[in-house]
Amino acid sequence: MKRRPYVLLAELTYGCPLHCPYCSNPVSSSAESELDLEEWTRVFREAAQLGVLHVGLSGGEPLSRRDLNEIISAAHDSRLYTNLITSGLGLDFARARDLRASGLDSIQISFQADEAVLGDSIAGARAHQHKLEAAAAVTRAGLPLSLNVVLHRHNIGRLPALLLLAESLGAQRLELANVQFYGWAWLNRKSLLPTRDQAQAAFAVAESAKERLAGRMEVVYVLPDYFERRPKPCMQGWGERYLTINPIGQVLPCPNATTIAGLQFENVRHHSLENIWNESASFNRFRGEEWMPLPCRECPERHLDFGGCRCQAALLTGDPAATDPVCSLSPHHLTLQNAVVEETRDLKTSFGMARQNPVAQTSRPDSTSTISKSILYPLRDQNLSSRT
Ligand code: SF4
Ligand code: FES
């Protein structure tokens, strides 16, 4: 059967008013301009022709695009289900209503914590109160609301309060996603990594919440895989179901794929999406099983986890084709376990982590940006942010 992508993550901009220490933006900036409305319109049409059903509109902060309504309309006109993935900053009732009128199907708002002091400290900006107001605006506008919380050492102990927050805001879905260590999170691993005890306690809370809230709110718990004995089936296999297009038009088999040294990524400005999906070297590099080393190549579980995560293997071993060290059968598993013990021995409580405001570092058309961190959301405490 021919492979087809089901989900497209459309990263509309690198610009963002927050400074999360696990930011998904790249750690180095690009001088390329961001895709414009015409380019996104073509991309959505080609994605739908390829078989994509669902598009996540993300960033950075997608609300900072002045042409977001038109972008949503373009995706909607291509019959794609549209989900806006946002910090909530810049979202009020009028904007939520307009986005819905443009064809938006649902909104996911990220929260850093259940309360303002901790939440704003993690975000590196006054954000929590805006998020509460944005969540209320979403439900008032009649859009399904989903909450996402990235979990790490500083907030993983607050799961009961996070669950209460999601319930009180009327969320239909709560994603509790343990931080995955790539990019900025990789740089800040020592400050973010939870302890094994924290991870086990959180798992128990999440499992009981899933049962208690079944039928009312979907609770999704993304495991902290450093504590597992088998890796996650990352992306459901490289180049099998998902594709990401970053703000400058590179098409990626995984949102973190640019962290893998040596891979070149094709650009929608120069090739069709169909050509990139089917023919590009980057999408074919880790497809199927041919590329697998031992022990994966002969392992009966290779159809379940696809050998784990390529980005993680590259970061932890230097070889993107290696067995994911999370797997207890990997020759690097013990090294990872020892690193986890070492890095959680002396717990830091401060947020003295590397952060970045990508707005200032990325070249893009002036017309697309409406949010400037320094104008709307100044840092509450400069000591919270040690930029790199
Ligand atoms: Fe998965 Fe490879 Fe480990 Fe087998 S050896 S469980 S395929 S990562
Ligand atoms: Fe890139 Fe897993 S995060 S393959």
Three-state SS for 236-259 is HCCCCCEEEECCCCEEECCCCHHH
Ligand that comes closest to the CA of residue 254: 2
Report the alpha-carbon distance of residue 176 to residue 108 in Å, rounded.
Answer: 12
Q: Residue 336 C-alpha to ligand 1 middle, in angstroms?
A: 16
Ligand 2 binding pocket includes 369 (Cβ within 6 Å): no
What is the residue with the minimal CA distance to atom 6 of ligand 1?
301
Quick check: 126 pLDDT over 70? Answer: yes
Pocket lining: 326 vs ligand 2, CB cutoff 6 Å: no
Band of the pLDDT at 382, cuts 50, 70, 90?
Answer: very low
Average pLDDT of the residues in 80-108: 98
For the cut 60, the answer to whether the pLDDT of residue 62 exceeds it is yes
Q: Which two tokens stand for residue 382?
A: 């400069």
Q: Tell me the C-alpha distance between 265 and 52, whole Å.
A: 20
Ligand nearest to the CA of 328: 1
Residue whose tokens read 């790199």: 388
Cα torsion 185, 188, 192, 196: sign: positive
Shortest CA distance to 301 belongs to which of 265, 280, 328, 271?
328
Residue 380 pLDDT level (bands cut at 50, 70, 90): very low
Q: Is 295 in the pocket of ligand 1 (CB under 6 A)?
A: yes
Task: Establish whether residue 234 lines the binding site of ligand 2, counting it when its CB lies within 6 angstroms of any ligand atom.
Answer: yes
**Per-residue pLDDT for 212 more than 60?**
yes
Average pLDDT score, the chain: 89
SS (H, E, C) the chain: CCCCCCEEEEECCCCCCCCCCCCCCCCCCCCCCCCCHHHHHHHHHHHHHHCCCEEEEECCCHHHECCHHHHHHHHHHCCCEEEEEECCCCCCHHHHHHHHHCCCCEEEEEECCCCHHHHHHHHCCCCHHHHHHHHHHHHHCCCCEEEEEEECCCCHHHHHHHHHHHHHCCCCEEEEEECCCCHHHHHCHHHHCCCHHHHHHHHHHHHHHHHHHCCCCEEEEECCHHHCCCCCCHHHCCCCCEEEECCCCEEECCCCHHHCCCCCCCECCCCCHHHHHHHCHHHHCCCCCCCCCCCHHHCCCHHHHCCCCHHHHHHHHCCCCCCCCCCCCCCCHHHHHHHHHHHCCCCCCCCCCEECCHHHHCCCCHHHECCCHHHHCCCCCHHHCEEC
Nearest Cα to Cα of residue 138 among 174, 96, 179, 86: 96
Q: How many CB atoms lie within 10 A of CB 366?
A: 6
Taking CA atoms only, the protein residue closest to ligand 2 atom 2 is 309
Out of 302, 316, 317, 326, give the residue to mutate to test ligand 1, the one with the largest number of ligand atoms within 8 Å of its CB.
302
CA 190/CA 341 separation, integer angstroms: 11
Question: Which pLDDT tens digit goes with each residue over 249-299?
Answer: 999 999 999 999 999 999 999 999 999 999 999 999 999 999 999 999 999
Locate tokens 């050492």: which residue? 153
User: Looking at ligand 1, which residue's alpha carbon is closest to its atom 8?
Assistant: 307
- Give residue 175 CA to ligand 1 midpoint distance, Å: 26
Q: Is the pLDDT of residue 360 over 50?
A: no
Ligand 1 pocket test, candidate residues 234, 291, 326, 329, most atoms within 8 A of CB: 329
pLDDT band at 347 (very low <50, low <70, confident <90, very high): low
CA distance 35 to 327: 38
- Region 147-167: mean pLDDT is 97
Which of 13, 9, 190, 178 is CA-nearest to residue 108?
A: 9
Relative to the alpha carbon of 325, which ligand is closest? 1
Residue 251 bridge partners (DSSP)? 245
| pLDDT band per the 50, 70, 90 thresholds, residue 345 | confident
CA–centroid distance, residue 374 to ligand 1 (Å): 47
Q: Look at residue 14 and tell me whether its pLDDT is greater than 50.
A: yes
The encoded tokens of residue 212 equal 């208690």
Q: Report the chain's C-alpha Rg in angstroms.
A: 20
Q: What is the pLDDT of residue 367?
A: 33
CA of 301 to the centre of ligand 1 (A): 6
Question: Residue 27: its pLDDT value, please?
Answer: 85
Which of 127, 59, 84 has the alpha carbon at shortest distance from 362?
59
Ligand with the closest atom to the CA of 289:
1
> What average pLDDT does this structure show over 101-116?
98
The two structure tokens encoding residue 191: 């400050």
Check if 309 has its Cβ closer than 6 Å to any atom of ligand 2: yes
- Confidence check: pLDDT of 207 > 60: yes
pTM for the full model? 0.89
Q: Is 296 close to ligand 1, i.e. is its CB under 6 Å away?
A: yes
Ligand 1 midpoint to CA 313 (Å): 12
Query: Could you say which ligand is closest to the alpha carbon of residue 305?
Result: 1
User: Minimum mean pLDDT among 38-52, 122-136, 148-162, 341-355: which range?
Assistant: 341-355
What proportion of the chain, given as a percentage, has pLDDT over 70?
Answer: 89
The neighbour count for residue 129, using CB atoms within 10 Å, is 11
Mean pLDDT, residues 320-332: 97
Task: Count other C-beta atoms under 10 Å from residue 278's C-beta.
Answer: 15
Q: Which residue has the higher pLDDT, 353 or 243?
A: 243
**What is the structure's pLDDT at 343?**
86
Cα angle at 246 between 290 and 155, to 5 degrees? 90
Whether the per-residue pLDDT at 7 is higher than 90: the answer is yes
- pLDDT tens-place string over residues 20-49: 999 988 887 777 899 999 999 999 999 999
